Structure 1
């Protein structure tokens, strides 16, 4: 008879309390991790799509543009400075290939 009561004594509300707290702690931990992951994802998307952390572009000076080497497109390739084209026609059109 003592065996039956010992089983009942083991599952009293006071002995169940640590199990309930462990479940609540686990749920709270999972919620915190999930919330942190969502926050990191939002921050990553924000930083990837904005120029918040990039440096500002530097404006090219007229001297730098005058000394730029231009190449013709076509069968025979010629190279000349941009200032010669500016002196002849008054306009310079440049196509710039970005590195990378």
Structure 2
């Protein structure tokens, strides 16, 4: 029985399909984590108005994180700035 190898075109199509599935999974995970944080904020006594103000700030934070990510400093910079402002967070195991 002969082995059948994928052509370059088939490999590219498979890669695009896999990336699409992975992107959807990452987006779902991100949405779940955000909802957990927002629920925790409400449970801690913050008002829905304050939570919505936080939601409104997310695009700016995401943009600045994206710019720093290109330099491989995003996680470190974000975490250090949170720690400097008194937020108790842990360092990531790996920089993205």
Higher relative contact order (CA 8 A, sep 6+): 2
Structure-2-length-normalised TM-score: 0.42
TM-score when scaled to structure 1? Answer: 0.41
Q: Computing the radius of gyration over CA atoms, which structure comes out larger, 1 or 2?
A: 1
Structure number with higher strand proportion: 1
Question: Higher helix fraction: Structure 1 or Structure 2?
Answer: 2
